[in-house]
């Protein structure tokens, strides 16, 4: 029996990459839909994306922070977002979000109010109180683990909540809670190598590359079964599958929100 692109989730499960397998299964099961570069880059408001194109149940921050290289990025974000440099860079966005909050919630001029609701879904938090983020990397020597299979690279984002007091020049915002979450897109835009896969495992580098079969009916009958052949997989492999079979739906990934109350509130003077 040949090994094809559609069999990669089975290999993931064999290698204990359960989360990666679940996300790839979702992509394969969907009717063909290609995310646009604007949607991938966040230029399209997330509130304009229909719910069936967002997976907000599979990824949990508890799972994310099990991976040391990702936990290190999270630690940096939590310990640097309130630095003078990063807060100064966040000023324009904070000003915009505070004004939007008063307008959306009908808050009377001059009245203090609670800004940010970290109990909302990420798609709401993203557009109402998210102010900073760090991007993870995918290094040559990073482990071939479940995070590699499921996510690869992603953004870890930080949102804030606190009391806002209007002033003559804007607001005094006293931030007493932050929330962090993962945002990613599951798509195959552009050129990216995704490893060399076989029925038994995955490798990062092999030579010479052998393209993975897409259709069992067209594949070598013993390809990848007896020989344990490792096949090259890249973004183009999945685009070709989508074109040939009309299946394969890109989607957005949102984790849950990890909330933390600040021992020492951060006070920000936001000018409007």
Domain residues of the chain, as ranges? 1-32+192-249, 34-187+250-271
pLDDT in tens, 160-178: 999 999 999 999 999 999 9
pLDDT in tens, 215-258: 777 665 444 444 578 999 999 999 999 999 999 999 999 999 99
**Can you give the pLDDT at residue 137?**
83
**Can you give the pLDDT at residue 214?**
84
Instruction: Provide, for the chain, the percentages of residues in helix, strand and coil under a 3-state DSSP scheme, each rounded to the nearest 5.
Output: 35, 30, 35
**Can you give the pLDDT at residue 47?**
67
36's CB contacts (< 8 A; 6+ apart) are 44
CA atoms within 13 A on the CB side of 242: 19
- Residue 130: its H or E element: strand 130-135
> Which residues of the chain fall below pLDDT 70?
46-47, 139-140, 218-227
Average pLDDT, rounded, for the chain: 92
Q: What is the pTM of this model?
A: 0.91
Strand partners, 162: 115, 175
**Can you give the pLDDT at residue 218?**
66
**Can you give the pLDDT at residue 116?**
98
């Amino acid at each position: 029996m040949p090994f094809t692109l559609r069999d990669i989730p089975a290999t993931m499960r064999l290698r204990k990459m359960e989360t990666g397998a679940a996300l790839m299964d979702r992509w394969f099961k969907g009717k063909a839909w290609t995310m646009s570069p604007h949607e991938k880059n966040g230029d399209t408001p997330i509130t304009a994306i229909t719910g069936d194109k967002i997976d907000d149940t599979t990824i949990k921050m508890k799972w994310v922070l099990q991976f040391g290289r990702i936990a290190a990025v999270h630690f940096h974000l939590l310990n640097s977002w309130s630095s003078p440099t990063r807060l100064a860079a966040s000023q324009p966005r904070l000003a915009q979000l505070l004004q939007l909050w008063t307008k959306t919630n009908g808050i009377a001029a001059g009245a203090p109010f609670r800004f940010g609701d970290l109990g909302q879904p990420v798609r709401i938090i993203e557009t109402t109180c998210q102010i900073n983020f760090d991007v993870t990397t995918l290094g040559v020597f990073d482990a071939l683990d479940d995070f590699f299979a499921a996510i690869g690279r992603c953004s870890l984002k930080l949102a804030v909540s606190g009391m806002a007091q209007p002033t003559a020049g804007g607001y005094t915002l006293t931030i007493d809670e932050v929330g962090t979450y993962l945002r990613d897109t599951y798509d195959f835009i552009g050129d990216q190598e995704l490893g060399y896969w076989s029925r038994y495992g995955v490798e990062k580098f092999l030579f010479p590359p052998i393209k993975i079969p897409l259709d069992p009916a067209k594949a070598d009958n013993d390809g990848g079964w007896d020989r344990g052949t490792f096949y090259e997989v890249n973004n183009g492999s999945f685009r070709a599958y989508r074109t040939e079979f009309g299946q394969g739906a890109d989607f957005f990934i949102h984790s849950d929100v990890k909330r933390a109350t600040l021992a020492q509130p951060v006070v920000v003077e936001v000018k409007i």
